[in-house]
Structure 1
């Protein structure tokens, strides 16, 4: 847009304002607007209106260039000349970018690149998509948004973790989850169970646990990029064989302060029932047997049974699942304030998320029984999740070429969980195994107030015993609790000493303190109902530092080349203290001294990694785009014989529509890539250690005494696992090729990708000869191959003012 030039007189500032809309005239709230080559900019409001006020000397020649951009749309640039007035109006129209080709995506370790130049497949997910999902966990909010990303929750309980992996599995003993990076730094995304292990899924006899991915407030996220395979994630080396999820959080923008409040409510319930037989009652062989674990007793006169007779009295059966479940609810609130001036920006958010599972609470239970005899349960809400988050992020322009930025997040999480459905302690066994003619209500015997189940209806002692738990006992008397306090953040400095070089240093830390309680009170099925309690305390700390230098070939020698070199230091430390109390002495008193047997175990872990890396990109005729990268990792988990390992990648992309005109094809790109990434061995795999809690070798055929005690003296014995001084990281090598097309006036997009990944040196545990003094040995050796084809279709089916219908397959 060109306007008549006149001299600006008598004004200290001038204002550029207008609207930003799409091709159909719909406003684009949140669209970014910036005065090119200046720090001045802003964002459009809910009506698409923007306004930028800048000092007059910024436009001293009466000319300026503005750029408007919005996720999912192609950016536009206009030249503006001023009329000598204080305010100039410029309205902007953005055209939808169906494949997001002009989107600048984060490619890892400070790298930014236009998507159209990528030779690998990086999936971008709009934060709005995750926000509309109704999920509190960012991982489960991505379901259905990324081809090849498998996500499933381990249960429907409140705040529980999610299992997720990209393009199948490539390991046996290692983790399957991708590495999660927030603002350039890795964060802990593991799920730690009460026993102290880290696993994607909790072990069989343990309760549910919340995942650390749920600590991220979705409303704070500005962009999400998924690096799907080794070809894309190689720059992260020995921690990236499962892919990488890159998250960039929102920042403040120059302009007047904006305050946003959001609230969201939802309901949940069981979407799948398990049909159970209602033809036979409790017992065996056609006979009624009290306290039997079988449901092959007397034939019941119930509708649907082959022998049903409406002329005879109908037998009473019970809907065990229907009576114990109802509707769950979710509530989320967030308050966000952001803004800034030409030197300083800030972003501050407060968030609260609450999720209650579909299991009934104590008040609902009291409506089901005539009386509770004044009994007070150990908990009134069996399964709920509460999360509070605070995030502060800011930046300050110290000098024209020096910027300091920082962010910090604090999270507090409290949960009530229930024992997993597939354990004999858990709720599922009692619901599915209880005979149809047994009434689970009340779960306490009216005469004794002891635990009552179908396998022991009238226990003579508090311990029972029982063959499984009454599901209501699992809800209200067993306790699985968690309280987490976590803080993570970073400090980053960016320095541009000359036009063709940028130096950055980003250091950050992620600390959490996690308290767990797992209580099986007297009367619970396990070990004869004597009672058991776990109390776990875990401290974990990860710190990470990146020193990165970027050289711009355009500014240096006029060539479209960019070189990035850097150094990374990472340290991950963890300390877990597990207190186990067995055989409860006094009922309803839950302190460690109230258990006859007490065992304390401590686990410590420390992993240090040092890396160097380099990446170069080069454009040929703005048509062919090449990228190559190397990373060398050295880790304390690698064998001393070969402490450093190299990972490499190379990729290329060709925009063939710049050379050929094809009917109905507006844009077309071929791409191909090869890359390598790794999985580090388990901590301390290189050592043959000593333990004091040894219970024996060779499946306990040889016992050396409880807790290593010999002759009344505590000692240590060699570990049953033999160390491997030559162990190497697992290495996943992947070939990837694909085609991207935009069709029919950019209304439809197609992305097709084929890949083949081979994991070598896969780590597994094997048996060794008893003469070694051990019974297992951790070694490299297995090979796993994955291959697949991914197809994504996107389209704007209807695009009119006030109504838009787009779809993705």
Structure 2
């Protein structure tokens, strides 16, 4: 009976199990939501995001506006969820749903036009902390993928130009791989850097620039953000104010740029193939005279450096265009392939990118970049998700010398007399390097050397020798990314951990063959630079309703960060053979530099929402670092409030007011001290006299020794402290067809780090100290309009305007601090002028032009010939303060004291984008970028005046011109010789003070205001049946232009150029390489 009963129970169990299979299968079925998204005219809205944020599921609408969203049964939870539809240019819309396993729901959406999406998520903190835009109390500007795509820039930093107010972007030259500089709300640090922190998918990455030569010479250098493929970017959020960046503590004072890359979404695999071809050319060349040949005082001279020789007869003498002969048409191919998709538990995104860019300068100049990115996520349970994101970049560049460099290509070309043929650049008979000062005709080189000696100096290198023979190579390998774990033990509680890393290495080779002018015996540099960043974030986030109508979010976190850098460089001189091996250099000098910086911080950020009326934000961070003196920690708070005016009862029913909000915030952020600033470091090298490149080495028994660095460490050094107050108003008008944002901010920097002079008796020259104070304040405005939107046509306008003013309040009692440039023409910090009581009467902005000037009235100056004061006679000559003094001889005079001669900081900046869309297929868009004010030192012009090759000098060759100085210069002048006519000829430029080599730099400072047509594009999307028959959902054809036109009064190479590269020292133009314009043809295939 027992055996029979057991068998019976087993049989019943089997029958029940079989019967339960359909029930279990039904219980495991996912829920589906489908529908269509259209605009108010009934047109489909493609590429709209449809998602349920709390369940982390989503999809994208197709070209017909339809969507199908599958929700895994494991993710379905009791209660209501929010289904949201979001698309740029439309108001975000949400509905509440209750999901059941196996359910099939239909929800259609009609989206209204909107220029601001209040409900969109914005990245605001470490490990990709997010909040919605309507709850932000601080300014966060967003640049989306379509705006980056329209720019057609290969450098993601360059792509931000003109996209956000008070975000200044400058690309130093048009060379392939050229670096770009970014600055938010002005500069206010000397040693802490002035560029923002770059964060990719929640992990900080490196954006440094490394040079092997001084920044006034050498080649352009690449900033490491260039390693990011712009095609991988979904959006960029720019955090500006200290209240927003306080969560980054001692690294957030310069702002934070948060880059979010594209991700996969559940659904079928989506593939895109994009390829574009670009034709590049220079947008401007320096004007040269082609009427007078090599020589001096009207007579020919085969070895002269001047072009003040005889007048040329074009019928008998070949004349060459040296301004254009070194250029060609550049070409750029860029191809990107992406695959993305996923299932109910898995998402993935894979991209492959390749860039091949040949520059506009002749020779092997160019840059190639290969990128791979893999990003994915996996739900292992309905509570546990693991994600990964890894990118690899391989970049190779071949650059060309520029700047203050007798082997620089611009200097070599533009100083060449118009009657000298630079080709061939090698003598066909001997194979030797020939230049206009040392060739087979004259046979005698500068300094008396023979042309037939390979080690004789050529004076200035032949530009084609520079292009083809001098090698400047870089080989970069980089990997960066992160791994994340999200665990949700309770519906209101989430635990996250993100571990990120960034590693890059850069191998450099710089070869000057024998007979190069700078290094006639040859020089070889082999260098390798490596940087490694590690970043760890642990977060605990709680979200919920505290009371009826009151909700909040609180995040607690801990961050560990380490940065390790190592640079090795070997300089070899006197080359035995012209190879790329250091074994064949007679003299080798090595240099190694390395550091390790460790940071740890604890942070908290909270948000409290009092209904739909008031939002309160609070942030706090407590930081420690190996660079802080005395093992101290520092606290960085941030507070903000936002009042939604449009939800006030008195304003709620105003038809024209769609949205209105007042916001205010205050925060403190910091900049950590540089490595070794809190300790006494040791270095290798030699003791020189300040003139020679060699000196007394510390060598004992053949081993190089070390000695203390000239700068003493400060054990009490603190991070720089930056406090900022910000207030703003946001308005949405006329059913969100108009959006206006206005922001005012005031920022004060204290404890800025300088090196302060010490008495030599201390054994050091200077010491790191927290000794400087700066202030910045300004306005920012944005205006977004949709003037027209119909079923077949829409027109949008996006405008922005910004102004920043800075003040150098104190620089430790010194008069000026050199930031970069040359003696007599440089960028410096200049102390303010004060009255007898110490109050500031005149304040100079951060980084003004400082150098030589003319003697002027109103400065207490004296006549340099007679020694008599000039100001007492101001009324006699009708002079005003600042007028140039003209001595009795009819010429101006050189002031022996260096002064402020210009300000490269703009008075204001702005931009305007206009976009037309016709028939939902054709899109026409253009961006105009404006900079008003900001001076530039045109050092190229000043030097060419001396050599007589600049176009402006043409009237002054031969016998010159007789006129007053006022007629010559067009400037306001006064003095005893103001009406005296004098001769302006070669002697004025070479022996008097009429050139950049002999006279004041101020005469070559120009207004560098500009209006640029930054980009223009015409795009057409094909969705016809023939496209689908080819296997694609759509085909996009785009014709676009980049930097097509610049309107400016600046006479140099380009008002956006900068000799000093990616630094806060701007406004220097000295034989810089030119900018380029591009015509781009793009094909996108989507399936």
TM-score (norm 2): 0.67
Which of 507, 510, 529 pairs up with 1:515?
A: 507
Q: Distance in 1 between matches of 2:412 and 2:429?
A: 22
**1:247: how far off?**
0.9
Q: Name 2:1077's counterpart in structure 1.
A: none
Instruction: Check if 1:180 corresponds to 2:170.
Output: no
Q: Name 1:504's counterpart in structure 2.
A: 496
- What CA deviation, in whole Å up to 9, does each residue of 1:739-775 have, x standing for no partner? 1111222111111111111111111122211101111
Q: Name 1:481's counterpart in structure 2.
A: 473
Residue pair 1:71, 1:103 contacting (<8 A) in 2 also? no
**1:609: how far off?**
0.4
Q: CA 1:330–1:344 in 2, change beyond 3 Å: closer, same or farther? A: same
Q: Name 1:288's counterpart in structure 2.
A: 300
Instruction: Check if 1:224 corresponds to 2:212.
Output: no
Q: Name 1:562's counterpart in structure 2.
A: 553
Which of 633, 640, 660 pairs up with 1:644?
A: 633
Q: Name 1:385's counterpart in structure 2.
A: 367
Residue pair 2:30, 2:101 contacting (<8 A) in 1 also? no
Q: CA 1:419–1:174 in 2, change beyond 3 Å: closer, same or farther? A: farther
Q: Name 1:418's counterpart in structure 2.
A: 400
Q: Secondary structure, in 3 states, of the residue corresponding to 1:96?
A: coil
CA-based RMSD of the aligned residues comes to 2.8
Q: Name 1:125's counterpart in structure 2.
A: 143
Q: Name 2:1000's counterpart in structure 1.
A: none
Q: Name 1:320's counterpart in structure 2.
A: 322
Which of 204, 211, 217 pairs up with 1:193?
A: 211
Residue pair 2:685, 2:697 contacting (<8 A) in 1 also? yes
Q: Distance in 1 between matches of 2:239 and 2:560?
A: 22
Q: Name 1:762's counterpart in structure 2.
A: 752
Which of 155, 169, 189 pairs up with 1:151?
A: 169
TM-score (norm 1): 0.89
Q: Name 1:73's counterpart in structure 2.
A: 90
Residue pair 2:92, 2:117 contacting (<8 A) in 1 also? no
Residue pair 1:11, 1:86 contacting (<8 A) in 2 also? no
- What CA deviation, in whole Å up to 9, does each residue of 1:6-54 have, x standing for no partner? xx99995665433323334454333222357545431123443322345
Q: CA 1:709–1:353 in 2, change beyond 3 Å: closer, same or farther? A: same
Which of 569, 583, 588 pairs up with 2:574?
A: 583
Q: Secondary structure, in 3 states, of the residue corresponding to 1:274?
A: coil
Question: Which runs of 5 or more residues in structure 1 are unaligned?
Answer: 1-7, 196-201, 303-312, 362-380
Q: CA 1:64–1:578 in 2, change beyond 3 Å: closer, same or farther? A: closer
- What CA deviation, in whole Å up to 9, does each residue of 1:715-757 have, x standing for no partner? 3322222111111111111111111111222111111111111
Aligned residues: 761
Q: Name 1:94's counterpart in structure 2.
A: 111
Residue pair 2:218, 2:403 contacting (<8 A) in 1 also? no
Which of 420, 424, 436 pairs up with 1:442?
A: 424
**1:173: how far off?**
2.5
Q: Distance in 1 between matches of 2:700 and 2:157?
A: 50
Q: Name 2:1011's counterpart in structure 1.
A: none
Q: Secondary structure, in 3 states, of the residue corresponding to 2:497?
A: strand
Q: Distance in 1 between matches of 2:31 and 2:640?
A: 46
Q: Name 1:368's counterpart in structure 2.
A: none
Q: Secondary structure, in 3 states, of the residue corresponding to 2:545?
A: helix
**1:340: how far off?**
1.3
**1:387: how far off?**
0.8
Pairwise mapping of residues 725-764 of structure 1 onto structure 2 (< 5 A)? 725-764=715-754
Q: Secondary structure, in 3 states, of the residue corresponding to 1:441?
A: coil
**1:393: how far off?**
1.1
Q: Distance in 1 between matches of 2:220 and 2:260?
A: 29
Q: Secondary structure, in 3 states, of the residue corresponding to 1:124?
A: strand
Moved more, 704-713 or 22-31: 704-713
Instruction: Check if 1:401 corresponds to 2:383.
Output: yes
Q: Name 2:1075's counterpart in structure 1.
A: none
Residue pair 1:205, 1:425 contacting (<8 A) in 2 also? no
- What CA deviation, in whole Å up to 9, does each residue of 1:328-382 have, x standing for no partner? 2222211111111111111111111222211234xxxxxxxxxxxxxxxxxxx2x
**1:548: how far off?**
0.9
Q: Distance in 1 between matches of 2:192 and 2:644?
A: 39
Q: Distance in 1 between matches of 2:422 and 2:338?
A: 48
Q: Name 2:338's counterpart in structure 1.
A: 336
Q: Name 2:180's counterpart in structure 1.
A: 162
Q: Distance in 1 between matches of 2:439 and 2:570?
A: 33
Q: Distance in 2 between matches of 1:565 and 1:50?
A: 37
Moved more, 429-438 or 663-672: 663-672
Residue pair 2:73, 2:101 contacting (<8 A) in 1 also? no
Q: Secondary structure, in 3 states, of the residue corresponding to 2:787?
A: strand
- What CA deviation, in whole Å up to 9, does each residue of 1:173-219 have, x standing for no partner? 33211100011110011111125xxxxxx612322222211111122
Q: CA 1:656–1:455 in 2, change beyond 3 Å: closer, same or farther? A: same
Which of 307, 310, 317 pairs up with 1:298?
A: 310
Q: Name 1:574's counterpart in structure 2.
A: 565
Which of 426, 449, 457 pairs up with 2:439?
A: 457
Which of 23, 27, 47 pairs up with 1:30?
A: 47
Pairwise mapping of residues 768-787 of structure 1 onto structure 2 (< 5 A)? 768-787=758-777
Residue pair 2:32, 2:102 contacting (<8 A) in 1 also? no
Q: Secondary structure, in 3 states, of the residue corresponding to 2:740?
A: strand
Which of 617, 634, 641 pairs up with 1:627?
A: 617
Q: Distance in 2 between matches of 1:776 and 1:54?
A: 65
Q: Name 2:538's counterpart in structure 1.
A: 547
Q: Secondary structure, in 3 states, of the residue corresponding to 1:116?
A: helix
Q: Name 1:242's counterpart in structure 2.
A: 254
Residue pair 2:54, 2:81 contacting (<8 A) in 1 also? no
Q: Distance in 2 between matches of 1:28 and 1:445?
A: 66
**1:62: how far off?**
14
Q: Distance in 2 between matches of 1:118 and 1:492?
A: 25
Q: CA 1:79–1:174 in 2, change beyond 3 Å: closer, same or farther? A: closer
**1:508: how far off?**
1.1
Pairwise mapping of residues 601-616 of structure 1 onto structure 2 (< 5 A)? 601-616=591-606
Q: Distance in 2 between matches of 1:591 and 1:630?
A: 54
Which of 269, 279, 287 pairs up with 1:257?
A: 269
Q: Distance in 1 between matches of 2:704 and 2:52?
A: 73
Q: CA 1:40–1:752 in 2, change beyond 3 Å: closer, same or farther? A: closer
Q: Name 1:531's counterpart in structure 2.
A: 522
Q: Name 1:20's counterpart in structure 2.
A: 37
Q: Secondary structure, in 3 states, of the residue corresponding to 1:682?
A: coil
Q: Name 2:122's counterpart in structure 1.
A: 105
Q: Secondary structure, in 3 states, of the residue corresponding to 2:324?
A: helix
Q: Name 1:366's counterpart in structure 2.
A: none
Q: Name 1:360's counterpart in structure 2.
A: 362
Residue pair 2:678, 2:717 contacting (<8 A) in 1 also? yes
Q: Secondary structure, in 3 states, of the residue corresponding to 1:174?
A: coil
Residue pair 2:354, 2:371 contacting (<8 A) in 1 also? yes
Q: CA 1:295–1:712 in 2, change beyond 3 Å: closer, same or farther? A: same
Instruction: Check if 1:693 corresponds to 2:658.
Output: no
**1:494: how far off?**
1.0
Residue pair 1:500, 1:555 contacting (<8 A) in 2 also? no
Moved more, 478-487 or 740-749: 740-749
Q: CA 1:706–1:82 in 2, change beyond 3 Å: closer, same or farther? A: closer
Residue pair 1:723, 1:778 contacting (<8 A) in 2 also? yes
Q: Distance in 2 between matches of 1:723 and 1:629?
A: 32
Q: Secondary structure, in 3 states, of the residue corresponding to 1:474?
A: helix
Q: CA 1:332–1:93 in 2, change beyond 3 Å: closer, same or farther? A: farther
